[in-house]
Structure 1
Amino acid sequence: MLDRGREGTDGGGAGGLTVPMAWLYAEYIADELLRSGDLMPPTSFEFRAGRDALALTVFLSDTGGELCGVEVVSRLETWLSLTAYDQPWQEWVREKLAETSAGGAGRSAADLELARAAWRWLRETELLAPDLNAVPGGAGGEDEGPKVWTPAWQLGLPLGHLAIHLF
């Protein structure tokens, strides 16, 4: 039997299993926000980038370990401000992961492992996206315009932000 608490069982004792409930709940919230916005197919890499960026935001902003017991709507403004264009989201994620890795915020090792894997994927994966810095009309008649390889987090973060707005 698994403990349905925030962190599952503590892994101690005979055959204990740690269930990353905080991360799984953050990922579920992110998935639902993106699906409700209907911004891209759920099977796309763009969707995954948005889901992972939002899940990290939800997970790392839960400083009191109360995410599983809080109404999601009450957190939307916090998530909007963290994912806003003018915010240093990438640095914030690095700092929060470093804090939690140092034993802060009472996160389980299983939760942190999944959060770090999501962050690693967002940093190391590049997706082909429209070049938002391109000169208008400079595409030489192409319908879609120029594209550039972009780190997944730089594409996922604005998608996540927009999904929150549309919720």
Structure 2
Amino acid sequence: MTGEVPRAWLWAETTAEDLIAAGEDAARRGTFEFRATRDVLALTLFLADADRSPAGLRMELLHDHLAVATAWLAWCRSRLDGQQAAMRTPDMRLAGDAWRWLRRSRLLAGPGLNDVAGDDDAWWIAGPACRVGLSRARRVVDACLSGGV
């Protein structure tokens, strides 16, 4: 499968960047906040198997998935775990990279989100990138919903 273009992931990232711009988010490209927001939105779009046509993008679907941080984290984890066989595809490798960065990034000070899965699954703790990305992604989606994007 060498040379396969990760079209679905690239679409999700580009759409996330477009939503950030349309939502008038203040994060500049190349910043921690921008990457965290883009990765959260891209993962949500990619894992939700969102319709890739501009008319088919349902902001309500994004809003619903992003509404509760712990639910989003558990949903992403279950979707990625369920796709283990497909992890060899370039799309899934890039989604997995974004997921790991969001979970492990420690660029900002502060504790991670509480363990969603319980004490016996302690490896599952989201990093500050997750918190920042989820918060900003919700604001982007809300701005797009109120602006009719």
Q: TM-score range by the shorter chain?
A: 0.7 to 0.9
Contact 1:20 1:108 in 2 (8 A): no
RMSD (Å) for aligned C-alpha atoms:
2.4
The structure richer in strand per residue is 1
Where in structure 1 are there 5+ consecutive unaligned residues?
1-10, 132-149
Return the offset for 1:21: 0.3
Tell me which amino acid in the other structure corresponds to 1:42: R
Deviation at 1:108, TM superposition (A): 6.9
How far apart, CA to CA, are the structure 1 residues paired with 2:135 and 2:20? 11
1:28 aligns with 2:14: yes
Structure with higher RCO (Cα < 8 A, 6+ apart): 2
Cα distance between partner residues in 1 of 2:18 and 2:54: 16
Deviation at 1:67, TM superposition (A): 3.0
1:128-162 CA-to-partner distances (Å, cap 9, x unmatched) read: 3799xxxxxxxxxxxxxxxxxx5201110111111
**Match of 2:97?**
117
Counterparts of residues 1-167 of structure 1 (less than 5 Å): 11=1, 17-39=3-25, 40-62=27-49, 67-69=51-53, 71-73=55-57, 75-85=58-68, 88-103=71-86, 109-128=89-108, 151-167=128-144
Tell whether the 8 Å contact from 2:109 to 2:128 is kept in structure 1 after alignment. no
Structure number with bigger Rg: 1
- More helix per residue: 2
In structure 2, stretches of 5+ residues that fail to align are: 112-126, 145-149
Moved more, 77-86 or 35-44: 35-44
TM-score normalized with structure 2 length: 0.75
Give the whole-Å Cα distance in 2 for the aligned partners of 1:32 and 1:121.
21
State the match for 2:119 in structure 1: none
Report the TM-score, using the length of structure 1 for normalisation: 0.68
Deviations for 1:45-102, whole angstroms, at most 9, x for unmatched residues? 111000001100000000xxx63346244x2101100001365111111100011223
Moved over 6 A (4+): none
Equivalent residue pairs, number: 128
Aligned-pair identity in percent equals 38
What is the DSSP-based 3-state SS (H/G/I as helix, E as strand, rest coil) of the residue aligned with 2:108? strand
Residue matched to 1:143: none
